[in-house]
Each structure stands twice: as C-alpha cells, then as structure tokens.
Chain A
Amino acid sequence: MREETGETPGLPTPDAVAAGQAQIARLVGELRRVILGKEQTIDEVVASLLARGHVLLEGLPGLGKTELVKALSRLLSLDFRRIQFTPDLLPTDITGSHILQEREGRKEFVFHPGPVFTNILLADEINRASPKTQAALLEAMQERRVTAFGETRVLPDPFFVLATQNPIELEGTYPLPEAQLDRFMFKVDIAGVDRAVLEEILVTRVHGEPPPLGPVVSAAALRDLFALVDAVHLPRSVAAYIARLVAASHPSSGEAPDAVRSFVKYGSSPRAAISIGAAARAMALMRGRPSVGFDDVRQVARPAMAHRLVLDYTARLEGWDGRRLVDALLAAVPEIERGLPQTLAAR
C-alpha cells in the first residue's frame, strides 16, 4: 500500500494516464458497438471492472445483459464461464466437487473445479437459485477463493462476477440477501432503449447477432490498468465527501436528509465507501485524470450505494427506491464540507 511505504504519493504520469485512458476508450468503444444506447451502463460496468468489483445487472429480458458480459469477456481476452441459475442448482455446481476416480488402480477423490474457476463468471438470473447456492458465491466473491472438502483453492486473477437478474417473474425466485448484495460493487439497472436505438439495431444487426469482436486489452495490459487505477490519487477532500455521503445514508446520522430518515432502515456499509472510492478512481482514469474529483464520486455513487440501502416498507408505498434516495443524498450532502460564505454565490 502506498500509504504504508512512507513515500510521498505521486500522481500517475501524464503519459501513463493517457495510455490507460486510450485503452479504456478502445474497450468502451467496442462495447458501445455491441450494446447500443447504453453508454452510461457500459461506463459503470467498465468502471467496476477496472476497480475489480463485481456487478449485478438488473433489467428486463432481452436488454443485452448477457450480451454485455459476453462482449466484455471477448474484448478482454479473459476466460469466461456462464452459469444459468435455476432452483435446483447446487453449490457444488458452482464451486466444483470431488469425484471418486480410479487412478493407477487406486480410487481417490479428485477435485473437479466448477465454473467459478474462471476470470469472468456470468451468473445469469442469480435470484432463481436457492439461498444455499447463492451463498456459495459469497466466499468466492469476497475472498476470491473456494473451499471444498477443507481445501481452499485460489481463484484466477482477475476474477469478476457479473450477475444478472430481472425484476419480473419473481415467483419461485430468492431475492439476494443484503450480505450478498453488499458483495457487488455496483448494481446496474439496464433500462429500455428508445426508438432511435431500436431502429439502429434493426438496421445493423441481422438476426440480432452482434458484430464480431476481438481482444482489445490483453491480460497484461489489464493488470497494468488495475495498477494505474490504484495509482489514481484520492484527495482528502474527496475522501471526506465520500465518508459524509455514506454516513448520511444512515437514518441516525445528523446529516441525513429527511427522505433517508423516513425511508431508510439501515444505511450503506463501509464497503460502500470503499467501493465508491475504488470506482471513482477508475472513473477518473476513464476521463484521463490522475486524481479523483467530486464529479467522479457523484457519477459512481448511485450504482454503488442504491442496492446497499435497506429500505423501510413505507419507501415502496411512497414510491421511493434506492436510486432516488441516493439522489436525495447527493442533493443534501455538499461536496465541500465548508461551503461558500452566504454572501458569495457560485456562478
């Protein structure tokens, strides 16, 4: 860690930032070729990826959730696995299991790695599996390792879980518990597309097939990007803003806005602050800056905090959801702790 070395933390060099931004821009550009009209979604997914966070994609069927993940794996030239979650899916179907095999005349249990042993894991319709199976992902997502039969196995690096779920057809589904939701850095809502995008899809896609993609970021380059993201500077004023933002999400906080006091049962965890800081670094790099700014935090606060708020039952009655509450938080908490004097006005 930079802080532990005792050296003055410097900013990444302008050349490194420019190179990293260019690579990310290529990645984003290719994704935008595949997924039309989803610029913000793509930015958020890429930011989460660069911050090495897991993403939960929520949206109606047919909006390109799975296609986005598949395109990402192709562009990054990383190993990709997909698990279609169903109610009868077992934990060992994810983590892998020991199978009795005969080797050289002896029978022994041999571990067969599950699909979790990959770089990018697409957990499709994750809310259709039982909680027990969902919980199998907990250790993998947080510790990036799997323990089976008392043996712990480290997952490949990098390891991302990109899970999807749709907000309809909720019969026979198991909503993700808060503990597991907290493991996802972002929850990205996939909205529908407008008429112009639909027209573009019809013109450019035959049978809905996406254009062919090739790797644009190698594994080594991706690791360099990770290091570059970590090198992006997080100023103390911005860190203080993140801390105040997360603290204000708790209804017991003195800075909590009225909406939070009324509709939030439990605020965001410290993991939310960590996620915002990491994702804001990635967002700053995507914008070609060596230092995180307030606008980066505002950009990532909604996908990073909305799913971490435990809402009161009255919130749904009043039409409040996590994103709207985060908007209220962003409006209530000023970026700079000490604002302008009353006799000054920002233009």
Chain B
Amino acid sequence: MPRIPAIPATIDDMPESVRPALRRLARRLALGVFLDAWPAWAAASLLAAGSLVLICRLFVAGAAPYLKWSWLAPLVLAVPAIVIAVVRGYRPADVVAVADWLNGGNGMLLGVMETRDPAWSESEMVRGASAFPMPTLRPWRRLRIVPAAALFLFAALWLPQRAPRPQHTALADEIASGLTAAVAELKQQALITPADEKALEEEIERIRRGADRRVDASSWEAADALKEKLAADVAEKQNALKWAQESLARLQAAAQAGSAGDPKLAAASAELARALEKLAQDGMLAGAPDNLRQLMKGGRLPADPKALGELAAAVSKYLSETRGRVGNVAVLGKEAGRFDPAEFPLDHSEMTQDGDGDPGRGGVNRGRADADLTWGKETAMFDKFKAQPLPPGAARSADDWTPVVEMPGAPQANPEISSAAAARQYAATAGQTAWRRTLAPRHQSAVKKYFAK
C-alpha cells in the first residue's frame, strides 16, 4: 500500500515563521465561510419575520408588543451559521494549500507541511512564503441582500396595527330582535299559524346571519321588508275580521227580517261562511268557541233565528276579542314605516306662530324672545351624527345590482302580461306602494340611525 504522507493536524506543526500568517489566513477563511452562509440565512429570516409581522399587523393585534423582537431573527440564525462555518471550515491542509496558491503556487509551504523537513523549515524560501498577499474581505458581495430584507421588515413594523374587525353580532341581534319580538307578539295573540311562525323564524335567522357577516343598508332593508310583510298580514287579518263582523251583522239583519227561505238570508249566510273560512285560512279561529268550530266543520248555519242569534252573539264576541288582539299588534305596521294619517292631523288650529314653545323647536321665530338659545335638544355637531355619503341613486349598470334581501319563495311573473296591462293590473296598489315607500330602502339605515338618537 502506498503510504500517504502525514498531514499536520494543526497549523502549529508548520514552521514558526509562517504560523502567524497562516493563522491570520485561517481566521479570514473562517470569516469568509461564515459570511458565505449567514447573509442568505439572515435575509431569509428577515423576510420571514417581515411576513410574520405583516400577518400579525393584519390579524393578530395581541402580538403587536412582541413584534420588535423580530429584529433578533438574523442574530438567532447566526448560531447555526457559525456551526455550519465550523463544520465546513478549512482544515489546516486546506489553509496551507490556499496560502501556497496565494504565494504564487511554488509548492514550498505544501512541501514543508507534508514532509516537516527541518532543513527547509527556516529557509529563506519558506520565510518568503509567509509574505503571501492576504485575500481581501468583500462582505458586500453577500451582505447586499440583507439591507433589502431588513427594509422589508422595517416597513412591515412601520405599518400601523390593524384594529380588530368590529363584531356585528350585537347589531345583527338588534336587527333580529325587533323581528323576533313582532313574531312573539303575533304568537302571543294567537294570530299566526305554526307553519308561518316556523317560516318567519327561519327568515329572521337568515337576516341575522347576513347582518352578522356584514351590516349595511341591505340588512335593514331585509328587516324592514319582513316587518312590512308582517304588517301586511296583520292588515289582511284586520280586513278579514271586519268582513266577518259586517257579514255577521248582515246575517243577523236578514234573519230578523225574513223567513228561513229568504234569499237574502241565504246570501248573508254564504257570505259569513266565506268570511269565516277566510279567518280560518289566516289562522284566527284557533281559540274560537265550540259552536263556531262546529259551524265551520258543518258548513251550515242554523235556520232558527234564536239559535242563529246566539251563534251571532258568540261569533261577535269572539271577533271583538280577536279584533282587540289584532289591534294590539297593529303597531307593527307603524314600526315598519307605514304612513299613518292620524299622526299628521290636518287641524292647524292649535298651531301658533310661536310653535310649541320649546326653544329651537318652534316656528319661524325660533322660539320665544326671552328664551335662552340653549339648543340643548339638538344633535351635537360632529359627535353623535357624522355625515356620510349616501349610495348613488341609480345603478350604473345591470351588473351593479346586488340582492337586497332574499325572500322566501320565487317571485311570480307572467311574461304574457304586457307592461300596459301590468300597469292597469297594479294601478290600484300603486298608490299604496307610493305612500309606503316614502324613503329609498338603501337610505333607511342612515335615516334610522339619525333619528334613533
């Protein structure tokens, strides 16, 4: 086996004249190895820290006090970089080879290192070999990526902490609570069927979930639409009650005036039957007396005037009670923004030129002359009310439409009806729509907030 020449384990085995230069070269090589590895790691750590800071700035407000410590990431990674530099460091033989190469490659240092020949150790050639030009350090070759990464981290830290997203749950509950109260009122007054109650509760829950995700005009619009629907149902019930009472009155009058075979009596009886059927459809006969239920089951009215009178009295009593209950919930219609002429009396006899006497709330003279101009009941400027632009009045294109509310069931449309025919068909209700819609739905939230204070 060919014998491999022994290579010294340390630079101490080299001649004393070259040791200082070799040690200096070894240190510089070690620094070079470290600088080859660490800047890339440092830049990566700074970029990672910057990304983490960005995430925390956006989503983790609680981490804000600790983000400044992210500057330590490059220093932390310097430890494994040092370990790598030690592991990958130049061995003494490598250092001597580099020194010999830097010295022009004459092989003197290598020969002395491998043979340890004392005859040459202190020779002039070996001493001259210690004067090799030391390699210059060019750290910016690798470090230039670090400032850019540090700038990224600095920019990430400089960004303001994003405030936590407001929780809409309370507002959504507030929107839904009004609807829930209305449904509860209807249920308490026994003016709603279980099926309708279930459908309404599902609809309220859907509005609440939508408002929980995002509260805007559409949320209030949906709630208002549902309230309007409830109010319309109540109004329909009121009409049905009124019809039943009127038909009952006509039946009583016909029974007192005519005989059993009187056509007027039969017509009044049939009208009452239809009115009661309408009440049954609206779910208003749940608490009706037994004779009224038997009447609905049999479908025929008693021919005896006395019995008919007793029945009419019972029905009249029940209808009066029911009307009272409906009247209790009629306030729903007002809450839904329905126009009530009673709130706006046309009688101006009580109005004076001085208004109601309250300072700032009176007529054109703005209150009494001796009153203090306190303006205390007005909204504080720039405090409780903050001006905000309203959404544009018209959509710019068909694509800008967004669903305002999802109503149960699909809209019914008859394409065969022309626009002129449709105008005639809905001419009767068009005015009703006009007085209901005194304000654009998308403006209602702003107006509601303004007047809520």
Contact = CB atoms under 8 A, between A and B. Distances in A.
Contacts of B226: none
B107 A292 contact: yes
Interface stretch (A7-15, A36-44, A76-84, A116-124): A7-15
A345 B140 CA distance: 12
A182 interface: no
Given A9-B5, A344-B135, A295 B120 contact: no
Interface stretch (A161-169, A188-196, A208-216, A332-340): A332-340
Interface stretch (B95-103, B306-314, B328-336): B95-103
Interface string B90-111: 1001100110111011111011
B185 interface: no
Contact of B112 (A291, A292, A338, A340): A291
Interface string B112-123: 111111011001
A253 interface: no
Contacts of A291: 106-108, 110-112, 115
Interface stretch (A19-27, A220-228, A231-239, A266-274): A231-239
A331 B325 CA distance: 105
A294 interface: yes
B23 to A, nearest CB: 16
B348 interface: no
A345 B119 contact: no
A152 interface: no
Interface in A282-330: 284, 287, 289-296, 298
Q: Which of the listed residues A9, A292, A293 has the most CB atoms from chain B within 10 Å of its own CB?
A: A293
A323 B112 CA distance: 33
Nearest to B97: A237
Dominant secondary structure at the B interface: helix
A13 B101 CA distance: 23
Given A238-B110, A335-B101, A344 B136 contact: yes
Interface in B1-46: 2-7, 28-29, 31-33, 35-36
Given A10-B117, A11-B119, 8 more contacts: A11-B111, A289-B125, A290-B120, A292-B107, A340-B29, A343-B35, A343-B138, A344-B28
A346 B102 contact: yes
B142 interface: yes
A235 B104 CA distance: 15
7 contacts: A292-B107, A293-B107, A295-B104, A296-B106, A298-B105, A340-B32, A343-B137
A308 to B, nearest CB: 23
A6 interface: yes
Contacts of A342: 32, 36, 141-142
Contacts of A346: 102, 133, 135
- Please provide the 7 A-B residue pairs with the shortest distance between their CB atoms, ordered closest to farther: A291-B111, A293-B107, A341-B32, A294-B105, A235-B110, A293-B106, A291-B107
B136 A336 contact: no
A3 interface: yes
Interface string B125-143: 1000000011111110110
Contacts, number: 134
Contacts of B138: 343-345
Interface of B: 2-7, 28-29, 31-33, 35-36, 90, 93-94, 97-98, 100-102, 104-108, 110-117, 119-120, 123, 125, 133-139, 141-142
Contact of B101 (A233, A290, A294): A294
A290 B111 contact: yes
A289 B110 CA distance: 12
Contacts of A294: 100-101, 105, 107
A344 B137 contact: yes
Contacts of A338: 90, 94, 97-98
B137 to A, nearest CB: 6
A347 interface: yes
A342 B138 CA distance: 8
Q: Which of the listed residues B32, B97, B133 has the most CB atoms from chain A within 10 Å of its own CB?
A: B97
A46 B110 CA distance: 25
A119 B266 CA distance: 155
Contacts of B133: 346-347
Contacts of B116: 8
B141 to A, nearest CB: 5
A117 B362 CA distance: 143
A247 B331 CA distance: 100
Contacts of B139: 343
A4 interface: yes
A220 B111 CA distance: 27
A341 B94 CA distance: 12
A233 B111 CA distance: 6
A306 to B, nearest CB: 21
Contacts of A295: 104-106
B81 to A, nearest CB: 13
A235 B136 contact: no
A341 B25 CA distance: 12
B3 A6 contact: yes
Q: Which of the listed residues A4, A236, A296, A298 has the most CB atoms from chain B within 10 Å of its own CB?
A: A236
Q: Which of the listed residues B4, B7, B119 has the most CB atoms from chain A within 10 Å of its own CB?
A: B119
B123 A14 contact: yes
B270 to A, nearest CB: 105
B114 A236 contact: yes
A4 B32 CA distance: 40
A9 to B, nearest CB: 6
Contact of A237 (B35, B100, B137): B100
Contacts of A238: 107, 110
Contacts of A3: 2-3
Contacts of A8: 5-6, 115-116
Nearest to B116: A8
Nearest to B5: A9
Q: Which of the listed residues B98, B133, B136 has the most CB atoms from chain A within 10 Å of its own CB?
A: B98
A11 B115 CA distance: 7
B171 to A, nearest CB: 60
A346 B115 CA distance: 27
Interface in A236-288: 236-238, 284, 287
B100 A293 contact: yes
Interface string A171-191: 000000000000000000000
Interface string A44-67: 000000000000000000000000
